[in-house]
């Protein structure tokens, strides 16, 4: 005998057509930002630590972006450089070399694909021989204010080359306001800032640091170098601190705020989303990517189903856009 139930939620799940009609969260290619690695070599080198990802030469990068844009509908890309050891220094001067790897890549991308959005990472760890996002003092501490001066030069260098968005990932205090003032002072008022607002001192970054050779360099150094980034990246235990950082970045002129990593910090994504009217980005980082990829390659998980579920979870938490290494696959699945 049927139960006397006036409300049966399953009625809204009984067919694909109805499920489509009542679906609360959507995902499309326009919400994806594709992170890419590049180097000065002409050869395009697959990355063992990140199966399916490549360290691109500039020519190969442009052709790959052409495929992603023309065939898959992706139009937002963020660039991360592996810098040769002989170009690294304590002061990270290569970060603002107008003829350096990133400015050259920006110019070539904009020449070949003027309609795509080029986002650049603003931080010193790829250029700093100490492997830190900031300048390391003789006493072994990170010099916040001196670092911000270099970051402003780096952001201007990228803007001069044609970057659409600069993304400071360093977590130095005051860098968003300083970069905004520097950009505006050089007539780059249309260049946006996507701030890594709540970037945590996470254990999920390992494969990324391997791809860029950007981990802290403590062995064989003639000075005391911090072994981790916990004096500037956020404590994984904190949420309220993320809201403080959001308020500061918003006041200093950020156009987009970001939470990194994404998956283990969905509560932070939600809290930030409810705290600001700015667009919120979330970064599905290399460790998250590698866990899903390795489990799928081992046959334990369905890659397409789990990737799509993970991204929908990030969107459901409140992210307007997602940085993910799965962007090409997801775009093809969505198409």
Domain boundaries, the chain: 25-334
Residue 213 predicted with pLDDT over 80: no
The residue from 76, 88, 229, 260 that is catalytic is: 260
- Residue owning tokens 């930002």: 33
Q: So what's the pLDDT on residue 130?
A: 87
Closest by CA to 276, choosing from 313, 314, 249, 252, is 249
Q: How far apart are CA 68 and CA 188, in angstroms?
A: 28
Mean pLDDT of 249-261: 98
- The CATH code for residues 25-334 is 3.20.20.70
* pTM as predicted: 0.95
Query: Residue 222: which pLDDT band, with cuts at 50, 70 and 90?
Result: low
Top pLDDT among 223 and 248 is at: 248
Which residues have C-beta within 8 Å of that of residue 277, sequence separation ≥ 6?
none
- Residue owning tokens 């070949």: 112
How far CA 26 is from CA of 21, 308, 311, in Å, comes to 11, 11, 10
The residue from 76, 199, 229, 293 that is catalytic is: 199
Top pLDDT among 1 and 277 is at: 277
How far CA 214 is from CA of 151, 209, 300, 318, 324, in Å, comes to 17, 5, 31, 30, 19
Q: So what's the pLDDT on residue 211?
A: 76
Query: Residue 220: which pLDDT band, with cuts at 50, 70 and 90?
Result: low
Mean pLDDT of 94-120: 97
Report pLDDT digits (tens) over 129-152.
888 999 999 999 999 999 999 999
Tokens of 198: 């709540």
Lowest mean pLDDT among 156-160, 228-232, 233-237: 228-232
Q: So what's the pLDDT on residue 206?
A: 85
H or E element, residue 150 = helix 144-161
Residue 307 predicted with pLDDT over 80: yes
Report pLDDT digits (tens) over 176-188.
999 999 999 999 9
Query: Residue 215: which pLDDT band, with cuts at 50, 70 and 90?
Result: confident
Closest by CA to 33, choosing from 331, 321, 329, is 321
Q: So what's the pLDDT on residue 219?
A: 58
> Is residue 260 annotated as a catalytic residue, yes or no?
yes
Residue 2 predicted with pLDDT over 80: yes
């Amino acid at each position: 005998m049927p139960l006397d139930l006036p409300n049966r939620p399953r009625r809204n799940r009984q067919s694909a057509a109805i499920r489509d009609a009542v679906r609360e969260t959507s995902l499309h290619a326009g919400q994806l930002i594709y992170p890419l690695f590049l180097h000065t070599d002409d050869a395009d080198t697959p990355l063992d630590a990140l199966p399916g990802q490549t360290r691109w030469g500039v020519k190969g990068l442009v052709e790959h972006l052409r495929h992603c844009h023309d065939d898959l509908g992706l139009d937002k890309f963020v660039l991360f450089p592996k810098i040769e050891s002989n170009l690294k220094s304590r002061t990270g001067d290569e970060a603002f070399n107008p003829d350096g790897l990133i400015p050259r890549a920006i110019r070539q991308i904009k020449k070949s694909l003027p309609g795509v959005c080029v986002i650049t990472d603003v931080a010193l760890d790829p250029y700093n021989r100490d492997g830190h996002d900031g300048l390391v003092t003789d006493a072994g501490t990170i010099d916040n204010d001196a670092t911000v001066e270099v970051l402003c030069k780096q952001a201007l260098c990228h803007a001069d080359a044609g970057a659409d968005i600069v993304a400071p990932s360093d977590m130095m205090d005051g860098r968003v306001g300083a970069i905004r003032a520097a950009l505006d002072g050089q007539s780059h008022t249309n260049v946006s800032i996507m701030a890594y607002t709540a970037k945590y001192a996470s254990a999920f970054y390992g494969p990324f640091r391997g791809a860029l050779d950007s981990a802290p360099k403590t062995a064989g150094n003639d000075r005391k170098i911090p072994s981790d980034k916990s004096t500037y990246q956020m404590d994984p235990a904190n949420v309220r601190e993320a809201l403080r950082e959001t308020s500061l970045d918003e006041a200093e002129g950020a156009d987009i705020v970001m939470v990194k990593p994404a998956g283990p910090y969905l509560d932070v994504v939600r809290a930030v989303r409810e705290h600001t009217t700015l667009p919120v980005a979330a970064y599905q980082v290399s460790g998250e990517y590698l866990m899903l990829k390795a489990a799928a390659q081992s046959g334990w998980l369905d890659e397409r189903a789990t990737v799509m579920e993970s991204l929908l979870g990030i969107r459901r938490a409140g992210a307007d856009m997602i940085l993910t290494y799965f962007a090409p696959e997801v775009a093809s699945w969505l198409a």
